[in-house]
């Protein structure tokens, strides 16, 4: 029986791939023991136990980005997190550590190296983070989501996706999804989503342009997130939700999507063959623009800078697209050429290879 320690957390971008791999692993090797490693306060404290996995926590030790008091405290905190993880590896007889970035991963990578346990990392973004760079430097195997991601020892595996996305038949699911979401089954649907926290630029621009969009004969499913950015005008054909815990249903009804370009979102759109207008989050190190690069190059998506996504942009680009269904169909076909649904299986194969290589060396 294999015991695996899956490290990651803090945000959905780290937790969801972890859970996707765990679900696939549990489905294919039910005897394996899968433990999750996270930190207190992250999304993992809610999502991991809800999915039926044991969550172990270590002290949070973020890498310092400036010379301040936190930087002075970092060595002690990081050393404590590493030692706690080493104890877990020994006490639970862990056979392999798999990390997904985030605060828990870097200590787990160092602990795995010190305990001579095979190490595998998954990098969700096109531009890798510090923790997963560390995994490559430590000699671990690294699976990447997008081609062109430069990490030592890396292999393209794609994004581990939730089972409900992997198994989604959009055509078959659409009638029930339309009914569940309160939409018109005879109208095409524009899905707008900025993630669980919301995207103010998307929300404000769509809100200001909604009459023009509805005038094209489309209905709109707008998932605003917490940062709604305005009141719901309660117009016919405009369905507003703050949060949707069944994104598979939202994708089933969508004919075109306007969204941020987080790595999971881009991977899900490509896997499902959904055409999109992608508006990268403007803050950070530019990873969202890079995440969209392959899908845009294939012709499955249009990229619009956050500052440019205005009511004028909607009138000049989105409205003509909504009235040109042939172009949307072409984009859908293009998206499918770069989409893949086997990320969990490909990452698990990489994990098994790393374990087999360690056994040969041992």
The Cα-based distances of 73 to 39, 40, 103, 136, 253 in angstroms read 17, 18, 15, 25, 50
Report pLDDT digits (tens) over 207-249.
999 999 999 999 999 999 877 666 677 789 999 998 888 999 9
pLDDT at position 181:
97
pLDDT at position 13:
82
Mean pLDDT of 100-126: 95
Question: Is the Cα dihedral 281, 283, 284, 290 positive or negative?
Answer: positive
- What gap in Å lies between CA 111 and CA 96, rounded to an integer? 11
- What gap in Å lies between CA 57 and CA 151, rounded to an integer? 27
Report pLDDT digits (tens) over 337-356.
999 999 999 999 999 999 99
pLDDT at position 226:
72
Residue 204 exposed, middle or buried by CB count within 10 Å (0-12, 13-18, 19+): middle
Lowest average pLDDT, out of 6-10, 26-30, 166-170, goes to: 6-10
Report pLDDT digits (tens) over 307-324.
999 999 999 999 999 998
pLDDT at position 12:
78
Please spell the DSSP secondary structure of 187-235, one letter per residue.
S-EEEEE--TT--HHHHHHHHHHHHHHHTTT-EEEEE--S---S-----
Residue 4: strand pairing partners = 34, 96
End-to-end C-alpha distance for the chain, whole angstroms: 18
Which residue is listed with tokens 């054909």?
Answer: 237
pLDDT at position 265:
94
Q: Which residue has the higher pLDDT, 307 or 359?
A: 307
Report pLDDT digits (tens) over 193-207.
987 666 889 999 999
Which residue segments constitute the domains of the chain, with CATH numbers given?
Answer: 3-161+342-361 (3.40.50.2000), 164-336 (3.40.50.2000)
pLDDT at position 314:
97
Residue 279 exposed, middle or buried by CB count within 10 Å (0-12, 13-18, 19+): buried
- What gap in Å lies between CA 112 and CA 107, rounded to an integer? 9
Structure pTM? 0.91
């Amino acid at each position: 029986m294999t015991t695996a320690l899956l490290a990651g957390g803090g945000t959905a971008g780290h937790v969801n791939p972890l859970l996707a791999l765990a679900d696939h692993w549990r489905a294919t090797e039910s005897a394996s023991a899968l433990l999750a490693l996270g930190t207190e306060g992250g999304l993992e404290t809610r999502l991991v136990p809800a999915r039926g996995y044991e969550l172990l926590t270590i002290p949070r030790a973020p890498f310092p980005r400036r010379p301040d008091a936190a930087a002075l405290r970092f060595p002690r905190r990081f050393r404590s997190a590493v030692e706690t993880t080493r104890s877990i590896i020994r006490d639970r007889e862990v056979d392999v550590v798999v990390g997904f970035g985030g605060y828990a991963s870097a200590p787990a990578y160092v602990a795995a190296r010190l305990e001579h346990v095979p190490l595998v990392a998954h990098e969700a973004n096109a531009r890798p983070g510090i923790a997963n760079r560390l995994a490559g430097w430590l000699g671990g195997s690294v699976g990447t989501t997008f081609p062109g991601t430069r990490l030592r020892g890396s292999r393209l595996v794609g994004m581990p996706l939730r089972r409900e996305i992997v198994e989604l038949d959009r055509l078959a699911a659409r009638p029930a999804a339309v009914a569940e979401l309160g939409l018109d089954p005879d109208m095409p649907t524009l899905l707008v989503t900025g993630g669980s926290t919301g995207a103010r630029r998307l929300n404000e621009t769509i809100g200001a342009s909604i009459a023009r969009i509805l005038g094209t004969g489309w209905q709109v499913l707008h998932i605003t997130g917490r940062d709604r950015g305005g009141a719901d005008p309660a117009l016919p054909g405009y369905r507003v939700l703050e949060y949707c815990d069944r994104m598979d249903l939202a994708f089933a009804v969508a004919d075109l999507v306007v969204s941020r370009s987080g790595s999971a979102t881009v991977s899900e759109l490509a896997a499902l063959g959904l055409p999109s207008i992608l508006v990268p989050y403007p803050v950070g190190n530019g990873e969202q623009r890079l995440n969209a690069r392959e899908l845009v190059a294939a012709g499955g998506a249009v990229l619009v800078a956050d500052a440019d996504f205005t009511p004028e942009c909607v009138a000049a680009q989105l409205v003509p697209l909504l009235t040109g269904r042939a172009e949307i169909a072409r984009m859908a076909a293009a998206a499918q050429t770069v989409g893949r649904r086997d990320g969990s299986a490909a990452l698990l194969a990489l994990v098994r290879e790393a374990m087999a290589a360690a056994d040969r060396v041992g």
